[in-house]
Amino acid sequence: MDSIKKINNNERLTHQEALALYDLDLYTLGELAHAIRVDRFGKKSYFNINRHINPTNVCKDICKFCAYSASRKNPSQYTLSHEEILEIARTSIATGAKELHIVSAHNPNEGIEWYMNAFKLIKDEFPHIHIKALTAAEVDFLAREYGHSYDEILDMMIAHGVDSMPGGGAEIFDEKVRDFICKGKVTSAQWLEIHQKWHERGRQSNATMLFGHIEERSHRIDHILRLRNLQDKSGGFNAFIPLLYQKENNFLKVKNFPSAQEILKTFAIARILLDNINNIKAYWVTSSISLALVAQEFGANDLDGTIQKESIQSAAGAKSANGMSQEEFIGLIKNSGFIPVERDSLYNELRSFEEV
């Protein structure tokens, strides 16, 4: 197969060649991806000690795949006060968290100061903590809701202590799919523009892709190649995270959920295509820890982190509400034949557990 020769020669594939990779058997595709992974990272598998904070579920937008947001007259609405957010940060940092991952819904009731000052209060008390906050979808919402440009919102984020951006809100870049699953939300072009502007400020971010719902394989390839194109320009993506759609408690009602084989093929293809994004994250929250561990053999070199508590994916059925202990996380990676390496938020290695 010509595509295999091109992969072995480090040549880039076209869209059609990339799409044809799905026709390869799982083991052949896994071998190709794993060879790239081992060449870059050996047996290292990264994780970090982090805490997810989801400050509000009140949302102006209505995405059909979302089970977290509480729109209209939902009786389960909540919005944390700054003191509540700060207390969560204190508790998490006291138990070892080095990163706070702060994302939530698009709340039109609190004002832009509620968002920004939450970051500042944390940073003032804990200047060493890494704050990863505000997806491009949240940036777009804040810009539209409060009459600011993207540049102004991004500059506010930096001024108030945000260190890096998560990759959420990307979903699938194909606009026809977006019109069906998240109409009115940030467009694909806007998502890419926001991340490019963030990178131009010397800051780094992650990139995601929500798959396993109504999209087709060709949409996934298109999505990955658009990320590769932006990375060629800006170089600011730390990691690519294929997020598996969670099927409970939402309005998509997907019946044909992807098989484990389809999921692993998608990880492998991402590793093969994204020659300019170092890290492929098997986010165990959406894929399950068991499948994430297997994904290490299909190109993934990062399993995210301990999380401590998570509300968005668990609302749709993910088994992540209370996170995972560091000891359990390390043990699972070791037992799967890989070397656990604690990293910081920007992928600097902090500690290897090879001999521990």
Q: What is the pLDDT of residues 118-163, one digit of tens each?
A: 999 999 999 999 999 999 999 999 999 999 999 999 999 999 999 9
Mean pLDDT of 19-30: 97
Work out the pLDDT band at 313, boundaries 50, 70, 90. very low
Q: If residue 240 lies in a helix (H) or strand (E), which one and from where to where?
A: strand 237-244
Q: How far is CA 178 from the centre of its chain?
A: 18
Q: Tokens in use for 197? A: 């502007």
Query: pLDDT tens-digit profile of 269-289?
Result: 999 999 999 999 998 887 788
- What was the pLDDT predicted at 317? 40
d(CA 306, CA 328): 9
> Is residue 73 over pLDDT 70?
no
d(CA 71, CA 60): 7
Contact 80, 32 (CB under 8 A): no
CA dihedral 305, 239, 163, 122 (to 10 degrees): -20
Q: Please tell me which residue, 99 or 312, carries the higher pLDDT value.
A: 99
Q: For the stretch 24-42, what's the b/e string if a residue is b when 16 or more beta carbons lie within 10 angstroms of its beta carbon?
A: beeeebbebbbebbeeebe
Q: If residue 244 lies in a helix (H) or strand (E), which one and from where to where?
A: strand 237-244
Q: Please tell me which residue, 316 or 221, carries the higher pLDDT value.
A: 221
Mean pLDDT estimate for the chain = 89
- What was the pLDDT predicted at 328? 86
d(CA 161, CA 133): 10
Work out the pLDDT band at 247, boundaries 50, 70, 90. low
Work out the pLDDT band at 257, boundaries 50, 70, 90. confident
- What was the pLDDT predicted at 321? 47
> Is residue 337 over pLDDT 90?
yes
- What was the pLDDT predicted at 325? 78
- What was the pLDDT predicted at 18? 97
Entry pTM: 0.91
User: How far is CA 149 from each of CA 142, 155, 353, rounded to the nearest angstrom?
Assistant: 9, 10, 45
> Is residue 40 over pLDDT 60?
yes
Contact 89, 335 (CB under 8 A): no
d(CA 303, CA 100): 16
- What was the pLDDT predicted at 115? 93
Rounded to the nearest 10 degrees, the angle between the axes of helix 112-125 and helix 82-94 is 30
Work out the pLDDT band at 207, boundaries 50, 70, 90. very high
Work out the pLDDT band at 251, boundaries 50, 70, 90. low
SS3 of 182, please?
Answer: coil
Sheet with 50-53: strands ordered across:
50-53, 99-102, 130-133
Q: How far is CA 96 from the centre of its chain?
A: 22
| Domains, the chain, with CATH or none | 14-346 (3.20.20.70)
- What was the pLDDT predicted at 310? 41
Q: Please tell me which residue, 64 or 184, carries the higher pLDDT value.
A: 184
- What was the pLDDT predicted at 114? 93
